[in-house]
Structure 1
Amino acid sequence: MYVEQASRFPGAVVWSRTLGSPDDPVIRPVLPDGCMDLLWSEGRLLVAGPDTHAYVPVAGERPVRWAGVRFPPGTAPALLGVPACELRDLRVELADLWPASEVRRLTARVDAAADPVAALEDVALERAADRDPADPLLRRLAAALGAGRPVAATADELGLGVRQLHRRSLAAFGYGPKTLARVLRLQRALALAREGVTFAETAVRCGYADQAHLARDVRELAGQTLGELLGRG
């Protein structure tokens, strides 16, 4: 079963699931959301970079436990010490980013913990305490685009040129502001549709040209129809 709750890391969530468990046999795609995750899975620490399309986990021959800290858009690169664009659409070993000896120590610590989720969260919090926080401007950028503000207007409001905005967006989010806006609009549309808002009204409220535009965008980013994602397909 997938379990998610608010994290002690500001704006983040922590989650856990046992992939391949008979109690949770359906493998659901991980949809683009502008976020990055610090992951643990039975002797491994990994990082999930920002996705531009749906990622479908693969179950093995036996159930495997997973835990994760999902950071809000734009915050993980400062924590990890690597631009988000270098991890776009990737799952990489944390030892590829941090010293191997440190990762071995941290992995053993999480492996031995009674609650791997809390132990992984502690790793993130301790790392954050030693790093400069993410630029507040990035939070304003994500909030503006997440609310549907146009990219050019957002750049003006933040006092940035379009090229500078694009460069900073790549480093912080993994892709340019137009792609980020598209991904965040997908998440807004899913939230409305899950609340029971009709697809036509969802399209209007999220700024799509029409319902067909919404359908195309969902299919391209998520690999499924909106109805399938909501369990109606």
Structure 2
Amino acid sequence: MTDRLPQPLRSDALENRERILDAARALFAAEGLNVPMREVARHAGIGPATLYRRFPTKRTLVTEAFAAETRACHAIVDEALADPDPWQGFCFVIEKTCELHARNRGFTEAFLEAFPDPTGAVMDRAHVLRSIAELADRAKDAGRLRADFVLDDLFVMLMANRGIRAASTAAQVAASRRFAAFMIQAFQASRDRSPLPPAARLTPAAPTT
């Protein structure tokens, strides 16, 4: 049994792994997911063979590179669900999610596109979407969230938020916060608002609320 236990990485292998992840995070955040694997290897100062030895597919690299952002997403929706006021929880999700995505373009692309594989990033996204759907239902029942809101509207919001470009991360986050405030006003229930056109199905992974 001892022979079958996974062996810890040597110090040089561990260092290479961290260099790869640091390079991937920086490149994905700045340029999105279209960065070639060879560019990640070059940025990390290692050869492509070493990269593929540590991360055989781009999916595995993306999942590992965005592990912290995925945990942050889970923490945001869990905190929101714990709020006794579902509308305040919903607003918290909009504000914090926009800020999180404004800081990392690659994570937005991974969240919006995900992978068709039923493991890893897709399962994480499904958990987040189920939590937001539950929160949205509660906010609708409380009469605070407009009744015609669907989860596809969240994807539209993130697509628009992804388009924000600024000279610095701080300016981009500031612009994203203002955009989130506009979206919260748009999502809020009001007797004076006209109904929205029918929602377009943007992704089969986005269940309606």
**TM, length-normalised to structure 1:** 0.32
Greater fraction of residues in strand: 1
Q: 1 or 2, which has the higher helix percentage? A: 2
